[in-house]
Amino acid sequence: MCRINNFIPILTLLMHISSNEAGRRTCGGTYTAARGILATPNFPGPFDVPIRCQWVIDSSSAAYGSGNTSIIVYFTQLFTFEGLTFTEYQLYGNDYKINPKLIHKVNETNVFRIRWVQSYQSYLVIELKMQSSESAHIRVLDKFLDTYGFNITYEITTGGVRSPSCTMMDCGFTGICFDHYTKFSCKCFDGYSGPSCSEGPKSFCYTNGTPTCKNGGTCLHVGVAAVKCHCSKLFTGNTCETLLEPASAKGKVLLCILGSNRAK
Ligand SMILES: *[C@@H]1O[C@H](CO)[C@@H](O)[C@H](O)[C@H]1NC(C)=O
Ligand SMILES: *[C@@H]1O[C@H](CO)[C@@H](O)[C@H](O)[C@H]1NC(C)=O
Ligand SMILES: *[C@@H]1O[C@H](CO)[C@@H](O)[C@H](O)[C@H]1NC(C)=O
């Protein structure tokens, strides 16, 4: 059985280098409503490059009061890990930009792990800037999911972060994360079901009715062909089969690609 500590290698990360055509589509904009959707042009399809888009979320309106208003962006459907930054400003206008602070930059490591960003400043500016690559876009296992850019949601609220929210990873890459504004949920692809789309006839989380992750470990799909076991504190191993010495029990997360061993 193979063992990979990071799931990224099993995703095929593709860089599409495209022509010098300027991005012609309009993109970005200013958002003052209490909630909304921020998406790249032509989502989920490819967009023209070079591209530079700015989504300005403005919570300065008196309607939001002063209290504990924050701007929260939920990374529900985020498929790009390059050139995407989140900067908060105390004031933001054409001629003035006061107190900028970069609060998040999406990268290969955090793209599916970070579920949301929050700012207590009046303005949050999300910028997508790509010169020559169409996108470092994520393609999971042979076109199963072949999606560009992002389709994420924001909210201006005094209510704090809604939880649990989801990312593509929480939906096992076998479903898509949606924000319904009162709650989040995964919409599973055919053959998958359950809150994280890791159950159902096509799931590897069970083999002949037996859970793949032993000893109470939780099973999550990572695309169609792999699962990841989150072991309970006392166990380790690809399928949580090994009892740990109590001193070293740390609740390790290991990844296991199932294939030929499935029949075992
Ligand atoms: C703001 O939040 C803090 C901590 O989350 C809380 O103690 C405080 O009462 C809140 N203030 C208002 C005006 O809601
Ligand atoms: C990715 O971003 C995280 C913070 O979200 C940072 O800790 C990490 O070093 C970055 N990784 C790379 C490869 O840039
Ligand atoms: C974008 O995300 C929103 C909220 O999750 C969803 O309602 C909408 O259907 C999505 N759009 C596309 C094109 O997937």
Our answer on whether the CB atom of 109 is closer than 6 Å to any ligand 2 atom is yes
pLDDT higher than threshold 50 for residue 253: no
Closest CA to ligand 2's atom 8: 109
pLDDT (tens digit, 9 = 90+) per residue, 73-103? 999 999 888 899 999 999 999 999 999 999 9
What is the average pLDDT across 177-183? 95
Assign 3-class secondary structure to 83-131. CEEEEEECEECCCCEECCEEEEECCCCCCCCCCEEEECCCEEEEEEEEC
Rounded to 5°, the CA angle 147-148-152 comes to 95
pTM value is 0.82
CA of 151 to the centre of ligand 3 (A): 6
Pocket of ligand 1 (CB under 6 A): 67-68
CA distance linking residue 40 with residue 46, whole number of Å: 9
Lowest mean pLDDT among 47-56, 59-68, 154-163: 59-68
Closest CA to ligand 1's atom 10: 68
Average pLDDT, the chain: 82
Closest CA to ligand 3's atom 1: 151
Q: Identify the band that residue 67 occupies on the pLDDT scale cut at 50, 70 and 90.
A: confident
Q: Identify the band that residue 208 occupies on the pLDDT scale cut at 50, 70 and 90.
A: confident
Query: For residue 95, what pLDDT is reported?
Result: 92
pLDDT higher than threshold 90 for residue 230: yes
CA distance linking residue 115 with residue 108, whole number of Å: 14
Q: Quick one: which of 178, 219, 221 has its CA closest to 202?
A: 221
Nearest ligand for residue 113 CA: 2
Query: For residue 214, what pLDDT is reported?
Result: 95
Query: For residue 105, what pLDDT is reported?
Result: 98
The two three-digit tokens of residue 126, written as one number: 């999300």
CA of 164 to the centre of ligand 1 (A): 21
pLDDT (tens digit, 9 = 90+) per residue, 28-52? 999 999 999 999 999 988 888 889 9
Q: Identify the band that residue 195 occupies on the pLDDT scale cut at 50, 70 and 90.
A: very high
The SS3 assignment for 62 reads helix
